[in-house]
Amino acid sequence: MEKFETIPAVRHYLKEERRRGKSVGLVPTMGALHQGHVELIRQSKNSTDTTVVSLFVNPIQFNSPEDLENYPRDVVQDLELLAREAVDVVFIPDEREMYPEAVITEFDFGPMEQILEGQFRPGHFNGVGIVVSKLLHIIQPDDAFFGQKDLQQVTVIRRLVRDLSFDTRVVTVPTVREANGLALSSRNRRLSKEGGDTASLLHQTLLFCQDELLKGGDWLSIKKQAINQKLRPASIEPEYLEMVELNRFSLISRPMSGVPYALCIAAFIEKIRLIDNIVIGEEQN
């Protein structure tokens, strides 16, 4: 496993890999790796010749200094996991390497960043757009792999890739879950056992909403019922519970025939913000 901390070094190595005719896959991460990341890595290894995993906690996508400070970090454990998975290249830049000076470029993703995560985390998608653009420019992957758990983020990245003509295929990998249904997240390690059990209600709530919608129920009534009967009894007050159509990632109040849609939720459990979703219709690939 090759490890690089500078942009010129990783670029030089990958240039030689491409010269030998090898395809490149990128798995961008912020570390604190878990089985969901492992699935991304395995998808990359199955699809490309050289898999690159980046480990970089991107400060400019955090709108809360406390959230950035508390984000879990364990580089030693991450490297051990990557070695076990036989990853080819690890790119571990520090903040000065990625941002030698203050970034003044800004992305505006229009209406798709004004709802859900964009509404509650102002500036988040600008930070995501900048770091992903830099990684795609540095690594120049044939394929880049992202988890469905961050569905809105993947939608924004797809638009970024199209608008800026990056020669990269964005691959969405289905969410990996705990046995109780909780979507795997680096933030989960900050939950107590009781908190993890409570957090599983997010997925259960989404499943309830999906079942009621597929029976022909009214979304607003289903949403109210889910909040009052599933979440509030467990002292969960969601930041949002919404239905979006996936083509434009816009809010809808009823499913549209032939149009894939998703149910999305965000809530704080033990002061830790968690998100989840279910895609209905067809998954993005």
Q: Is 124 a catalytic residue?
A: no
User: Maximum Cα–Cα distance for the chain, whole Å?
Assistant: 59
The one catalytic residue among 37, 124, 137, 203? 37
In the annotated binding site, the residues are 30-37, 61, 147-150, 153, 176, 184-187
Side by side, the strands of the sheet bearing 250-251 are 250-251, 240-245, 261-269, 272-280
Angle subtended at Cα 161 by Cα 28 and Cα 19, rounded to the nearest 5 degrees: 70
Q: What is the rounded distance in angstroms from the CA atom of residue 97 to the CA atom of residue 102?
A: 12
Between the CA of residue 203 and those of 35, 60, 267, what are the distances in Å? 18, 29, 11
Q: What is the rounded distance in angstroms from the CA atom of residue 64 to the CA atom of residue 122?
A: 10
In the annotated binding site for beta-alanine, the residues are 61
Q: Of 260, 225, 226, 262, nearest to 243 (Cα)?
A: 262
Q: Of 276, 258, 255, nearest to 267 (Cα)?
A: 276
Contact 64, 182 (CB under 8 A): no
**Tokens found for residue 106:** 């800004």
Which amino acids are annotated catalytic? Answer: 37
